[in-house]
Amino acid sequence: MSDRVIPEKIRCDACPVMCFIADGKIGACDRYANHGGDLLRLDPLTIIDNAADKGIKAVPFLQGTDGTDWDGDLLRADTPFVTAIGAGTTYPDYKPAPFIVSQDVEGVDMVTVVTEGIFSYCGVKIKIDTDRHIGHERAVVRVDGEAVGHVMTSEYGSKMLSLGGVEHLTGGSKKEGRVTCDALLKLCNCDAVEMQIDDGASVVVQAGQAPVIDGTPEQLMRVGCGSATIGMFAAQWVGHVDEVIVVDDHITGQLSEHQAGQQLDVPPTGIKIMGRRSTPGRYFQVAEPGTGWGGTDIEDPLAILKPSDAKKAWPGLRLLMVSTTGEQAAYYELDGDLTPVSKPMPAPLQASADRIAENCEPSICSVLFMGGAGGSLRAGVTENPVRLTHSVKDSLTLVSVGGAEAYVWPGGGITIMADVLNMPSNAFGYVPTPALVAPIEFTMRLSDYAALGGHMDEVQPIEDVDRPDVRKVGQIDPKSAPSDRRNFRWKDTP
């Protein structure tokens, strides 16, 4: 019988909160527990098993499973990869990374250094595929009434949000920090978050899913602005209609004035559009932003038209008005007073509206985690952290997040972005400081690791890490639908 005395509580040093945890209980982060006086990480180290069906147990970095030479892909899409998910942290920051794993292949070693980093300087960048107006640029984004970010500059066919960051996590009230951290955690783990934009819409965002704007799921991302739509489909309209107006919040297009119409010998029609004329056939500010036609606030497309020019227009003139997604379309003919009168949509024009919709991609939300690997995290890799930065910038070290290759921003430091849909489920955690916990991996040649002053005494061969208690998962098929990747779950393999 053991004489060991189990303490009533033990102190966890995995983050600055420094919880005292009773036996059989877990810390505030739900990641560490007291098991019989031992501090345990609840989730075991995770290996993405890209090649389980090939009987491969470790990571042959330098040679493919078919015997071909290494092509420079450090993550090897056809092999397992040791991630930082379940690895634990380097806190206090003088500690080496929890796992520094090497493998010898034909006399050449590679090493992967894995850590669950505690990120106070982090956030998410969100791309929402929609023409609908959700809020003006710089408008505050709120969750549960707390400011968690803002609306950024719109991109082509999408609205952009920037959420999180150290100012919201630590610079405001305690509630603001907690709400921000919770929202980031859910978004990074591909869960839905409802947010309200000041003087704008209510939006439900979930990675890989369609946005829900004011209770209505968005369907299609526009094929292009009004001008671009005319350029793409002008030839299909000639002979079936005399004038086409493509309604768009940003650039509304008019076929007869547009260069495409000129090239196809479409005569002037006398149809006049409100707004500010830019170049021929391109109009700005035809209406206010909104959730109506083409991202404007109008429900009746005729509201953007001025009286027709009697010198150029004629009775019976055929007019098609359509949105940039093809979801709204209407057909008119001018009467004797040159007033547009609604008529049944001719089959060829309905087919063109359907073709516009066919060319629109499904509207989804994209969530990119963004964080900065600070000096303390880098100290877990090397005793001289700046050398790791140089190694990353010199492309000697590849950075990944939960197995997903990360984009490293140019300039100083190691500032990364990674698509959360490329990571296994529940790859992110939190600590109640508050901060997000994200897996981060550094992969390089063992010789380069030694040269940058790595913790060589902590290097373990893959055989010591690839144990039955290591959790393995199947590779996410990059060709699968976003919803399928969202529902991806771990599988345990003995």
Q: What is the 3-state secondary structure (H, E, C) of 180-213?
A: HHHHHHHHHCCCCEEEEECCCCEEEECECCCCEE
Whether residue 102 is contained in a domain is answered as: yes
Q: What is the pLDDT of residue 444?
A: 92
Question: Nearest CA to 117 among 418, 489, 486?
Answer: 418
Whether residue 493 is contained in a domain is answered as: no
**Same domain? 249 vs 340:** yes
Please state, in angstroms and rounded to a whole number, the distance separating the CA atoms of residues 453 and 6.
Answer: 38
Residues in the chain: 494
**Same domain? 306 vs 413:** no
Whether residue 186 is contained in a domain is answered as: yes
End-to-end Cα separation, the chain, in angstroms: 31
Please state, in angstroms and rounded to a whole number, the distance separating the CA atoms of residues 409 and 393.
Answer: 9
Question: Nearest CA to 245 among 295, 302, 299?
Answer: 302
**Same domain? 231 vs 353:** yes
**Which among 358, 383, 400 is the end of a domain?**
358
**Same domain? 395 vs 472:** yes
Whether residue 363 is contained in a domain is answered as: no
Q: Which helix (H) or strand (E) holds 81?
A: strand 81-82
Please state, in angstroms and rounded to a whole number, the distance separating the CA atoms of residues 214 and 201.
Answer: 6
**Same domain? 414 vs 348:** no
Q: Tell me how many domains the chain contains.
A: 4
Please state, in angstroms and rounded to a whole number, the distance separating the CA atoms of residues 103 and 472.
Answer: 18
**Same domain? 194 vs 103:** no
**Same domain? 199 vs 144:** yes
**Same domain? 274 vs 327:** yes
Whether residue 134 is contained in a domain is answered as: yes
Question: How many Cβ atoms sit within 10 Å of the Cβ of residue 479?
Answer: 7
Q: Which helix (H) or strand (E) holds 377?
A: helix 375-379
**Same domain? 307 vs 399:** no
Q: What is the pLDDT of residue 478?
A: 46
Q: Which helix (H) or strand (E) holds 168?
A: helix 166-170
Q: Is 388 exposed, middle or buried (0-12, 13-18, 19+ CB in 10 A)?
A: buried
Q: What is the pLDDT of residue 24?
A: 85
Please state, in angstroms and rounded to a whole number, the distance separating the CA atoms of residues 13 and 93.
Answer: 10
Residue 443 in contact with residue 112, Cβ under 8 Å? yes
Per the structure, the complete domain to which residue 281 belongs is given by 226-358
Please state, in angstroms and rounded to a whole number, the distance separating the CA atoms of residues 119 and 38.
Answer: 26
Report, in angstroms and rounded to the nearest whole number, the Rg of the chain calculated over CA atoms: 28
Whether residue 369 is contained in a domain is answered as: no
Q: Is 344 exposed, middle or buried (0-12, 13-18, 19+ CB in 10 A)?
A: exposed
pLDDT tens sequence for the chain (494 residues): 456 666 778 888 877 788 888 988 888 888 788 888 888 877 777 877 654 443 333 333 333 334 444 344 444 444 557 888 888 888 777 788 988 988 765 565 788 899 889 898 999 999 999 989 999 999 999 999 999 999 999 998 899 999 999 999 999 999 999 999 999 999 999 999 999 999 999 999 999 999 999 999 999 999 899 999 999 999 999 999 999 999 999 999 999 999 999 999 999 999 999 999 999 999 999 999 988 999 999 999 999 999 999 999 999 999 999 999 999 999 999 999 999 999 999 999 999 999 999 999 999 999 999 999 887 788 999 989 999 999 999 999 999 999 898 999 999 999 999 999 999 888 999 988 899 999 999 999 999 999 999 999 999 887 788 776 666 665 444 455 444 433 333 333 33
**Same domain? 437 vs 348:** no
Whether residue 426 is contained in a domain is answered as: no
Residue 254 in contact with residue 302, Cβ under 8 Å? no
**Same domain? 204 vs 231:** no
Question: Nearest CA to 304 among 256, 251, 352, 240?
Answer: 251
Whether residue 152 is contained in a domain is answered as: yes
**Same domain? 185 vs 285:** no
Give, in order, the Cα–Cα distances in Å from 210 to each of 193, 368, 393.
Answer: 12, 16, 36
Q: What is the pLDDT of residue 268?
A: 96
Q: What is the pLDDT of residue 396?
A: 93
Q: What is the pLDDT of residue 450?
A: 94
Residue 96 in contact with residue 409, Cβ under 8 Å? no
**Which among 157, 190, 221 is the end of a domain?**
221
Residue 114 in contact with residue 400, Cβ under 8 Å? no
Given the structure tokens 């980031």, which residue do they identify? Answer: 184
**Which among 358, 390, 412 is the end of a domain?**
358
β partners of residue 240? none
Q: What is the pLDDT of residue 473?
A: 62
Q: Which amino acid is at 175?
A: K
